[in-house]
Every structure is written in structure tokens, then in C-alpha cells.
């Protein structure tokens, strides 16, 4: 079907593959995720499983996922950083892996409390977006209207005009 991504193949032990397929089905049916979101989650989990194959020197199965410790998860995060992947991308991948582990625990397949101890990489806060001209004019009008006294409204309009005109932002 056009527009639908092909299913990502997982590099995992045979005992884990049915659980991964069930997880993808659950994402589509229960969580009602779009095919593109499922594809993104699948790619992130496939990347994690590929890392584990090299890290553990074997394809990860149910027992291997249950035995992972905080150092294993941190090694994965470090490998992503060393590979030049952004913190935002890594945070999304960690979210996908956490989603998989929650599903596996909920269905009684794998319980691994170590993942809860791993912090999500900090992502930089974006720069606040400037107001459009229409929004700025509306803000100035409202600032004057809501002021308890006319001089306060005039002051607020002057300060807001200065901030907007100079491109300054208040965080």
C-alpha cells in the first residue's frame, strides 16, 4: 500500500520475535499510532537490539532483556552520542525502548526495573518564537484594556512595544 512504511526487521533471538510483533500490533490497535510512528518506534528499537547484539555478542532474547542493567542502557546511550546522534533523537529512541519494556512487563514477558533508573538525555530548550504582527497588536490592545489604571496600561504598552520592537524575549 503506498504511503505505508515497510516493516522493520528486528535482530533478536527467536524467543523475542513474537513479542516484538505483538508489541507492534498493540501500537497499531490499542495505542492507535500511525504507521509512520510505529515505523519510527520500530527503527529505534531495532537500533537498540542491534546495539545489544554487538554489546552482548549475541542476539538479545527475553532473558537478556530482563538481565540488562543500568550500565548496559547507558552504554547504548553513549554509543548513540558517539555516533553523532542528537540528544533529541536519543530521547525519542529511549522513549520507544521504554514503551517496549512497559509493554513486555504489562504482558508478563519481561520485567526490568533498571530502565527506570536511566535518565532521558537533556535536550536544549528552544528559543521562544516571536509573536506575529497581528498577535503583537492584539497583545498591546489587551494590555491597555486590562490595566487597572490608564497610566499602568500606557506603561505596559510602552514596555511591550520596546520588547517586541527590539526582538527581545522574556523567558
Give residue limits of the domains in the chain.
17-117, 133-166
Segment 101-124, tens digit of pLDDT? 999 999 999 999 999 999 887 777
pLDDT digits (tens, 9 = 90+) for 141-161: 999 999 999 999 999 999 999
DSSP 83: T
Where do we find the cell 530521547?
A: 91
Cα–Cα distance, 150 to 137 (Å, whole number): 18
Cα separation of 45 and 97, whole Å? 6
Contacts of 107 (CB under 8 A, 6+ apart): 19, 22
Angle between helices 87-106 and 35-56 (to 10 degrees): 90
pLDDT exceeding 70 applies to what percent of the chain? Answer: 94
Task: Record the pTM.
Answer: 0.69
Distances (CA, A) of 16 to 52, 81, 101, 163: 13, 27, 12, 57
Question: Which residue carries 504598552 as its cell?
Answer: 157
> Which residue in 78, 76, 63, 75 sits closest to 112, CA to CA?
63
17-117 fold: DNA polymerase; domain 1 (1.10.150)
Amino acid at each position: 500500500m503506498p504511503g505505508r512504511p515497510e516493516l522493520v526487521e528486528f535482530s533478536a533471538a527467536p524467543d523475542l520475535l513474537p513479542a516484538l510483533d505483538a508489541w507492534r500490533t498493540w501500537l497499531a490497535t490499542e495505542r492507535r499510532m500511525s504507521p509512520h510512528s510505529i515505523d519510527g518506534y520500530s527503527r529505534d528499537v531495532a537500533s537498540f537490539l542491534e546495539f545489544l547484539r554487538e554489546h552482548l555478542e549475541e542476539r538479545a532474547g527475553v532473558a537478556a532483556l530482563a538481565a540488562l542493567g543500568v550500565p548496559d542502557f547507558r552504554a547504548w546511550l553513549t554509543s548513540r552520542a558517539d555516533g553523532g546522534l542528537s540528544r533529541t533523537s536519543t530521547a525519542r529512541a529511549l522513549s520507544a525502548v521504554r514503551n517496549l519494556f512497559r509493554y513486555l512487563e504489562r504482558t508478563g514477558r519481561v520485567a526490568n526495573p533498571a530502565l527506570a533508573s536511566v535518565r532521558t538525555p537533556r535536550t536544549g530548550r528552544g528559543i521562544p518564537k516571536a509573536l506575529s504582527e497581528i498577535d503583537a497588536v492584539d497583545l498591546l490592545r489587551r494590555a491597555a484594556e486590562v490595566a487597572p489604571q490608564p497610566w499602568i496600561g500606557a506603561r505596559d504598552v510602552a514596555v511591550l512595544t520596546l520588547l517586541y520592537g527590539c526582538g527581545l524575549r522574556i523567558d
